[in-house]
Amino acid sequence: MARDWKRGLLFAAVLAFVAALVFTGTNLLLGAALAPVKNAVQGDATITRASASPPGVGPETIADIVDRAGPAVVKIDTLVVSQDTRWDPFFNDPFFREFFGQQLVPRQRLEPGLGSGFIISEDGYILTNEHVIDQAREIKVTIKGFEQPFPARVVGADYDLDLAVLKIEAPQKLPVLNLGDSDRVRVGDWVIAIGNPYGLDHTVTVGVISATGRPVTVEGRRYKNLLQTDASINPGNSGGPLLNLQGEVVGINTAVNVKAQGIGFAIPTSTVKAVLNDLIQNGRIVRPWLGVQVGPVDEEVARRLGLPAAEGALVVGVVPGSPAQRAGIRQYDVFVEFNGRGIKTPDDLVNAIREAGVGQTITAVLYRNGQRLQVSLVVNERPASWRG
Tell me the catalytic residues.
Answer: 131, 162, 238
Alpha carbons within 13 A on the beta-carbon side of 69:
29
Q: Alpha helices, DSSP H only, in the chain?
A: 2-42, 44-51, 61-69, 94-100, 130-133, 269-282, 299-305, 323-326, 346-355
DSSP string covering 23-78:
HHHHHHHHHHHHHHHHHHHHTHHHHHHHHTSPTTS-TTHHHHHHHHHGGGEEEEEE
**C-alpha closest to that of 239 among 329, 115, 357, 85:** 115
CA distance 132 to 142: 14
Of 302, 328, 330, 305, the residue nearest 315 (C-alpha): 330
Calpha distance 79→340 (Å, rounded) = 49
Specify the amino acid at residue 344.
K
Burial of 184 (0-12, 13-18, 19+ CB in 10 A): exposed
Position 371, amino acid: Q
